[in-house]
């Protein structure tokens, strides 16, 4: 099986944790580094969530963890704590400072991709502040990245943070637009609407099947996902949402991408009403495409990939308070 060398740039909470677990356990993934960015929950909480995620898989210290930008480029930071709680269901861990690299995430993104030009892909599943900063700091980053897979925006559809904007693009719309204009030659966007809410949302009954698996990873999965499932049900989304992990799956298993189109994508940075809105123009409008936008994914195949991941046995690297066993 082909292994995909990847860096995951994320705002570690709920499904970001699931994505890291998938990258640590899936045979198609070769996880080179994890970089963190301001997003879902307070930054230091994200660092703890990342260490717990690595630990539950027994991999704390194995994968370089680089801390990145602690605030968006221009806009004030916006939290998603109302959605995810603290992003880990109240779990706690004693941080291992030796498992945190001294190298900033942006420098790591630039260095790692420069050391192997065209070989390492980046999966960006949080606000794009680190990615945009890398572009601004060293233009060669754009050429050195093999593929850039982004979870963000909606394809002429619903937002989730405002009626028009998805969270990652809303938190740092300026960074998102810098990335859209940067010239990445293999940019893929997995959206909130329709992909997440149609193809990566699983009912509570199916979620319960996943969380009934008897492994430390499945117990952790339940802990980090429960709060978001409850929030979703309170706002009319009937199930557990997995936008970030299905974005990684789109890279690891391209056969899961059933439909994808070429679009010109731009992110609104001007209007308070539609700040962070992803304008996605298809070929009819004649603008030069800058992205592949995923239009349909095989949600059933992805569910099986999640179930396989959750079966993975592990011996946690260090105790996680609140996690049974
Ligand atoms: O809009 C979905 C995105 O924001 C995901 O990356 C998830 O982490 C949420 O916080
Ligand atoms: Ca995320």
Per-residue pLDDT of the chain (325 residues; tens, 9 = 90+): 889 999 999 999 999 999 999 999 999 999 999 999 999 999 999 999 999 999 999 999 999 999 999 999 999 999 999 999 999 999 999 999 999 999 999 999 999 999 999 999 999 999 999 999 999 999 999 999 999 999 999 999 999 999 999 999 999 999 999 999 999 999 999 999 999 999 999 999 999 999 999 999 999 999 999 999 999 999 999 999 999 999 999 999 999 999 999 999 999 999 999 999 999 999 999 999 999 999 999 999 999 999 999 999 999 999 999 998 5
What are the tens digits of pLDDT across the range 32-60?
Answer: 999 999 999 999 999 999 999 999 999 99
**How far apart, in whole angstroms, are the C-alpha atoms of residue 120 and residue 97?**
26
Cβ contacts of 244 within 8 Å, gap of 6 or more: 10, 15, 16, 18, 19, 125, 151
* Rounded Cα distance, 169 and 190, in Å: 12
Cα 200 to Cα 298: distance, rounded to the nearest angstrom: 9
Task: For residue 220, give both structure tokens.
Answer: 């952790």
112 three-state secondary structure? helix
Residues within a 6 A CB radius of ligand 1: 11, 13, 15-16, 40, 80, 125-126, 151, 160, 166-168, 192, 243-244
Distances (CA, A) of 287 to 147, 156, 283, 294: 22, 16, 7, 18
Place of tokens 């970001």: 16
Burial-class residue 163 by CB neighbours within 10 Å (0-12, 13-18, 19+): exposed
Q: Which residues contact 163 (CB under 8 A, 6 or more apart)?
A: none
Name 292's Cβ contacts closer than 8 Å, sequence gap at least 6. 186, 187, 188, 189, 260, 261, 262, 263
Overall pTM > 0.95? yes
Q: Can you list the alpha helix ranges (DSSP code H) found in the chain?
A: 15-25, 43-56, 81-84, 105-115, 129-137, 140-144, 167-171, 173-181, 204-211, 216-234, 243-252, 299-310
Token pair, residue 278, equals 């992803």
Contacts of 7 (CB under 8 A, 6+ apart): 31, 32, 33, 34, 35, 108, 109, 112, 113, 120, 121, 122, 123
User: Separation of 10 CA from ligand 1 center, angstroms?
Assistant: 9
Cα(286) to centroid of ligand 2, in Å? 32
Percentage of the chain exceeding pLDDT 70: 100
Distance of CA 263 from the midpoint of ligand 2 (Å)? 23
Separation of CA 20 and ligand 2 centre (Å): 11
R_g over Cα of the chain? 18
Ligand 1 atom closest to the CA of 161, numbered from 1 = 1
DSSP code string of 50-82:
HHHHHHHTT-TTTS-EEE--SS-SSSPP---HH
Measured between alpha carbons, how far is residue 10 from residues 197, 258, 262 in Å? 20, 25, 25
| Cα dihedral 139/144/150/153 (nearest 10) | 30
Residue spans per domain, the chain: 4-321
Among the CATH numbers 3.40.50.620, 3.90.1150.10, 3.10.20.600, 3.90.245.10, which is that of 4-321?
3.90.245.10
């Amino acid at each position: 099986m082909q292994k995909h060398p990847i860096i995951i740039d994320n705002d570690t909470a709920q499904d970001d944790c699931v994505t890291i677990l998938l990258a640590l356990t899936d045979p198609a993934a070769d996880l080179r580094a994890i970089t963190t960015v301001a997003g879902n929950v307070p930054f230091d909480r994200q660092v703890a969530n990342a260490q717990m995620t690595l630990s539950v898989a027994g991999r704390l210290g194995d994968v370089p963890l680089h801390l990145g930008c602690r605030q968006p480029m221009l806009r004030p930071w916006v939290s998603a704590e109302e959605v995810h709680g603290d992003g880990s269901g109240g779990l706690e861990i004693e941080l291992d400072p030796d498992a945190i690299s001294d190298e900033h995430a942006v420098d790591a993104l630039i260095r790692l991709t420069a050391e192997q030009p065209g070989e390492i892909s980046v999966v960006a599943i949080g606000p794009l502040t680190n990615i945009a900063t890398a572009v601004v700091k060293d233009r060669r980053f754009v050429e050195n990245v093999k593929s850039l897979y982004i979870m963000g925006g909606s394809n002429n559809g619903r937002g989730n943070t405002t009626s028009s904007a998805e969270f990652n693009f809303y938190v740092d719309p300026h960074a998102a637009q810098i990335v859209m204009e940067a010239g990445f030659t293999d940019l893929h966007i997995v959206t909130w609407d329709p992909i997440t809410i149609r193809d990566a949302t699983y009912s509570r009954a199916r979620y319960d099947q996943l969380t009934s698996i008897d492994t430390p990873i499945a117990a952790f999965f339940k802990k980090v996902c429960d709060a978001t499932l409850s929030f979703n049900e309170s706002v009319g989304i009937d199930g557990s949402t997995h936008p970030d992990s299905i974005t990684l799956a789109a890279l690891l298993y391209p056969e899961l991408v059933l439909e994808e189109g070429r679009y010109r994508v731009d992110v609104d940075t001007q209007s308070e009403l539609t700040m962070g809105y992803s304008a996605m123009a298809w070929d009819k409008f004649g603008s030069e495409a800058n992205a592949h936008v995923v239009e349909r994914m095989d949600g059933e195949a992805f569910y099986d990939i999640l179930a396989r991941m959750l079966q993975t046995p592990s011996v946690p690297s260090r105790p996680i308070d609140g996690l049974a066993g």
